[in-house]
Amino acid sequence: MNVNTDVLVPMTEANQNFSKVVRLVDEEGLAVIMKNNKPRYVVVEFSEYNEIQAARESRRDRISAVSEKIIDDNLEAFLELAK
């Protein structure tokens, strides 16, 4: 994953100047807060967060549906293995 270096903010600076973090989110769509020189946190607008949550729920639902189908299609084999 590539990170735009213009949106990186050290933790110390984020603590001392949170308005800079908010300004970056307004201008760039997100801010990445670094902790110990590693990307640790992402700050995004709340609407973006809602989209991320919806995508995660959709992915979880798809995985659940596939796993249920695998179990249904192979129930006899799973029951035999469980003996």
Calpha distance 8→21 (Å, rounded): 9
Give the pLDDT of residue 38.
94
What integer is the mean pLDDT of 23-28?
A: 95
User: pLDDT over 70 for what percent of the chain?
Assistant: 98
Residues 4 and 40 in one domain: yes
This prediction has a pTM of: 0.66
Q: How many domains does the chain have?
A: 2
Confidence at 5, pLDDT banded by 50, 70, 90: confident
- pLDDT value at position 4? 77
Structural domain of residue 80, as residue ranges? Answer: 46-83
> pLDDT band for position 65 (50/70/90)?
very high
Q: Which of 17, 51, 56 is nearest to 33 (CA)?
A: 17
Same domain, residue pair 39 and 70: no
Burial track 10-29 (b if 16+ CB lie within 10 A, e otherwise):
eeeebeeeeeebeebbeeee
